[in-house]
């Protein structure tokens, strides 16, 4: 009986390893990279050797031979997956400079190795980096500051504009650079103060947090959260977004007042803000980290409540607007807001007359990455998004940038939309954007690139 259980376990483990090795570069398995991958590869090679030594191939039982053959698959699948990833990376790193400088400014990318990030920065393949917990680790603020300075030095040495350096430092449960930075209380702790004291307290908090971020070299804080606080029963199974803990209040007036002054405090310290997550997560139950989420509330109701803080803050400050991966059914029931032209261009750019910078939420989320990520990239850029965030797993940048480059080569990117985006980045983020004359880029394309259709 024990032997049979062992054989069944070997069959099941082999099947599981095949799935894991085939997908070893996917975001959900990011924690297995490095030592985890070495262990998986060792098991994938070691078990077939052990089976051979125990005579599996010489056995008269067909099942023994099939088990041995099955165990040969994980190692082959792992090598194939790593080869495919290396090829994708090679293609991106070999991108023509004119194309890199055209597309690169639109990507803000997380990284594990500073050397790799410096290479991408020097080649102009990215416009910014995202720093978070794994970058801070057990390091001091001075050490992380030095690393960011080295990335900027690589950028300047290549004759390119400074990088955007983004971080998630909201305060409370989301403070990805604490430690080493001091941990601040959540903005929601100010909600019960009287109006004038909470205005002063919000600005003071923004100034303190902004000063600490600026000293480290961070230029854009992906905060504050403007989503209205949901009823707790709606977020019972929310294990990642945690919007119930991150939202400032369920009162739009209170959210607007605190957020506006917090953004002004950040700005006074030289740090930009990105308000999030339009069109709002307070009314949805699905977690966009893993699943598609739909918002089916009428637009008029949203304008009168959930969207009031977004209006108030972007009209009175120079904050960047982060658009999330929620499907806004009243405007575009077919795609998330983050890559919907009807939402980005129709609602935000035209109906709201917002000409500031739009950044997408992390594209390495199930709501996007679990579908057609290439379609999302193209539609986001053509629709009016200025910055595409690739945060959780920076290695996915090679796939995502490849999507944009292939779209450009096939005439599927709107160069006029890209030019307008570059102007917004230059004007609102205070940084020049390295561009190429359209003729230079078009000479490298296989098709027309002046206008893309949907």
Residue 137, pLDDT above cutoff 90 = no
- Give residue 232's pLDDT: 66
Residue that wins the pLDDT comparison between 448 and 170: 170
Q: Is the peptide bond before 224 cis (omega within 30 degrees of 0)?
A: yes
Identify the weakest region by mean pLDDT among 49-63, 174-188, 269-283, 308-322: 49-63
8 Å CB contact between 410 and 453: no
- Give residue 438's pLDDT: 44
- Give residue 236's pLDDT: 56
Closest CA to 357 of 414, 255, 258, 275: 275
Closest CA to 336 of 277, 250, 392, 414: 277
- Give residue 291's pLDDT: 85
Identify the weakest region by mean pLDDT among 23-27, 114-118, 120-124, 239-243: 239-243
% of the chain at pLDDT higher than 90:
82
State mean pLDDT over 1-6: 78
As a whole number, the mean pLDDT across the chain is 91
Structure tokens at 384: 């009016």
The residue with tokens 């030592």 is 35
Q: Indicate the pLDDT class of residue 188, thresholds 50, 70 and 90.
A: very high
Residue 454, pLDDT above cutoff 80 = no
- pTM of structure: 0.90
Residue 112, pLDDT above cutoff 90 = yes
8 Å CB contact between 381 and 408: no
Residue that wins the pLDDT comparison between 394 and 446: 394
pLDDT, one tens digit per residue, over 189-246 is 999 999 999 999 999 999 999 999 999 999 999 999 999 998 765 555 566 778 888 9
Q: Indicate the pLDDT class of residue 6, thresholds 50, 70 and 90.
A: confident
Residue 440, pLDDT above cutoff 60 = no
8 Å CB contact between 163 and 124: no
pLDDT, one tens digit per residue, over 335-368 is 999 999 999 999 999 999 999 999 999 999 999 9
% of the chain at pLDDT higher than 70:
92
- Give residue 238's pLDDT: 63
> What are the C-alpha distances in Å from 282 to residues 69, 143, 251?
51, 37, 12
Residue 285, pLDDT above cutoff 90 = no
pLDDT, one tens digit per residue, over 370-423 is 889 999 999 999 999 999 999 999 999 999 999 999 999 999 999 999 999 999
- Give residue 237's pLDDT: 56
Residue 312, pLDDT above cutoff 70 = yes
pLDDT, one tens digit per residue, over 410-434 is 999 999 999 999 999 998 776 544 4
């Amino acid at each position: 009986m024990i032997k049979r259980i062992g054989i069944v376990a070997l069959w099941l483990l082999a099947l599981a390893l095949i799935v894991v090795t085939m997908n070893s570069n996917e975001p959900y398995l990011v924690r297995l990279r490095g030592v985890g991958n070495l262990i998986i590869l060792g098991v994938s090679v070691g078990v077939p050797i052990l089976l051979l030594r125990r005579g599996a191939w010489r056995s008269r039982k067909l099942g023994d031979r099939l088990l041995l053959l099955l165990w040969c698959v994980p190692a082959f699948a792992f090598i194939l997956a790593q080869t495919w990833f290396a090829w994708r990376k090679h293609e991106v790193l070999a991108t023509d400079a004119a194309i890199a400088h055209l597309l690169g400014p639109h990507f803000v990318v997380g990284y594990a190795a500073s050397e790799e990030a410096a290479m991408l920065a020097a080649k102009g393949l990215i416009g910014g980096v995202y720093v978070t917990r794994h970058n801070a680790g057990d390091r001091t603020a001075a050490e992380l500051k030095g690393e960011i300075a080295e990335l900027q030095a690589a950028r300047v040495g290549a004759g390119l504009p400074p990088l955007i350096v983004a971080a998630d430092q909201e305060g409370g449960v989301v403070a990805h650079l604490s430690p080493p930075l001091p941990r601040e209380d959540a903005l929601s702790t100010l909600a019960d103060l009287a109006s004038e004291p909470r205005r002063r307290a919000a600005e003071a908090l923004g100034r303190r947090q902004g000063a600490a971020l600026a000293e480290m070299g961070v230029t854009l804080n992906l905060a504050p959260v403007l989503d209205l606080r949901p009823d707790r029963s709606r977020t019972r199974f929310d294990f990642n977004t945690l919007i119930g803990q991150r939202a400032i209040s369920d009162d739009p007036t209170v959210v607007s007042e605190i957020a506006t002054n917090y953004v002004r405090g950040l700005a006074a310290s030289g740090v930009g803000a990105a308000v999030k997550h339009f069109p709002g997560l307070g009314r949805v139950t699905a977690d966009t980290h893993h699943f598609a989420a739909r918002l089916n509330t009428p637009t008029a109701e949203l304008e009168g409540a959930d969207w009031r803080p977004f209006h108030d803050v972007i009209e009175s400050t120079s904050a960047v607007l982060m658009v999330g991966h929620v499907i806004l059914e009243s405007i575009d029931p077919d795609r998330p807001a983050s890559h919907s032209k009807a939402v980005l261009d129709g609602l935000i750019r035209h109906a709201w007359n917002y000409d500031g910078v739009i950044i997408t939420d992390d594209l390495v989320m199930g709501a996007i990455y679990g579908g057609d990520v290439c379609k999302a990239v193209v539609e986001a850029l053509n629709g009016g998004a200025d910055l595409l965030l690739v945060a959780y797993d920076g290695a996915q940048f090679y796939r995502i940038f490849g999507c944009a480059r292939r779209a450009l080569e096939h005439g599927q990117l709107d160069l006029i939309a890209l030019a307008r985006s570059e102007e917004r980045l230059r004007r609102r983020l205070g940084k020049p954007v390295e561009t190429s004359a359209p003729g230079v880029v078009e000479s490298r394309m296989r098709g027309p690139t002046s206008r893309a259709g949907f």
